[in-house]
Copies of this chain bind each other. A is one copy, B any other.
Amino acid sequence: MRRNGISTTRIAEICGVSQGTVDRALNNRKGISSKTKEKILAVAKEYGYRPNIHARCIAGGKSMLIGVVVFDLNNQYFSDIVTSIQRHSSLKNYATVIMFTDKERRKEIECINRLYHMSVDGMVICPCGQGEEYENYLLSLGIPIVTIGNRLNRIPYIGIDNTLSMQETVEYVLDRGYQRLIYVKPDLQEKNASAQIERLDSFYQTCKKRNTEYAVTDILHAEDNIRPQKRNALICPTDLYAMRLMHLAKKYHAGIIGFDNVRLIEELSLPLDSVAYDIDTAAKRIVGYIVEGISVFTPVRHQLVKRGSV
C-alpha cells in the first residue's frame, strides 16, 4: 500500500522494543512501564504517527467510520443534521461516510449493506423502510444504529417529540386568535413517515380537543382551503412547504408556521415562524451513542422561533 506515515513496526525498531510494547503504549493498555511508554509516545509524536484504520480494522479493531444514510440533501433539515454529525464525529476522530436512499427502500438496503461491509462502527439512518423484517435485519447487523426523522419500534430514535411539539404549535396558533387551521400534509405513500404521521395525528387531536375548525390538504390545494372571511393559519410540518406558501399567507393575511427552522430562514431573513430543533444536541447524542455507547434517548428539546408570521 501507499505508505502514509510511520507504522508501529517502525516505531518498535526505532525504540528498540517489540511491536506489542508499542501497541501497549499507543493504546493505553496496561502492562508497560511509564518510562518506555513515554519514550514510545515521544517517538510516535516526532514522526507524526497515525494509526492505519484499515489495518486496525482488519485486525479486529474499530474502523473509525460512521455511516450516515439519509434520503438526500434536498431538504435542508438533512444537510443541517449531516453537517452536525460530521462535526461531532470529527471531534472523536471518526469519519463519516454518507449515502442517499432517495426514499427508496431498495436503495436503502443497498446503502446499509455497503456500509456494513465497510465495517462502519455504527450507522445513523433516516429510514424509509419499516416493519418487523426490516427491523430484524437492522438488529442482526450487530452494530449500534440510531434513527432520525422517522421512527422504528425497536431501534433507538433521536429527535424531537413530534406529538408534543405539534400540540404546542397548534395551541400557540389558536391562542393568537386564528379560527381556521389548514394543515399542509406531504405525501405519505407507503414509506416510513412516522414523523409526519405523528405530527398529523397530534394536529388532529389538538384541534379536536380545542374544538377548532380545521382542514388537511396537500400543497397544491392549500389555497382552495383558505376561507377569506376567517382568520386562517397554515400549519406546515416542514419548512420547505412553509417557504413555498408564504405568498399565500401574505395574500390572504393568513398566519403561517413551519417545522425544523432550517438555516435558510435566517439566511434569507424570512419572516417565518418555525419550530426549532436543537440539531447540535441531537448530533452529539447520536455520535455519543455510536462511539461511546452513551444512551440518551429522551426527546431533543424543541422551541418555537417567532418571527412574526403567526
Contacts and interface: CB of A to CB of B under 8 A. Distances in A.
Interface in A260-292: 263-264, 267-269
Contact of A95 (B4, B53, B72, B118): B118
A117 B244 CA distance: 44
Interface in A235-251: 240, 243-244
Nearest to A60: B1
Given A118-B53, A119-B1, A268-B244, A100 B73 contact: no
B117 A99 contact: no
A108 to B, nearest CB: 13
Interface of A: 1-2, 4-5, 50, 52-55, 57-61, 63, 65, 72-74, 79-80, 82-83, 86-87, 90, 95-100, 114-119, 142-143, 240, 243-244, 263-264, 267-269
B55 A116 contact: no
A65 to B, nearest CB: 8
Contacts of A65: 97
A100 B119 contact: no
Given A4-B116, A87-B100, A90-B99, A57 B59 contact: no
A117 B57 contact: no
A83 B73 contact: yes
A58 B59 CA distance: 11
Given A54-B54, A83-B73, A1 B59 contact: yes
Contacts of A86: 98-100
A49 B264 CA distance: 44
Contacts of A267: 74, 240, 244
A1 B58 contact: yes
A51 B114 CA distance: 11
Contacts of A118: 53-54, 95
Contacts of A2: 119, 142-143
Contacts of A269: 244
A72 B83 contact: yes
A87 B73 CA distance: 12
Contact of A4 (B1, B53, B117): B117
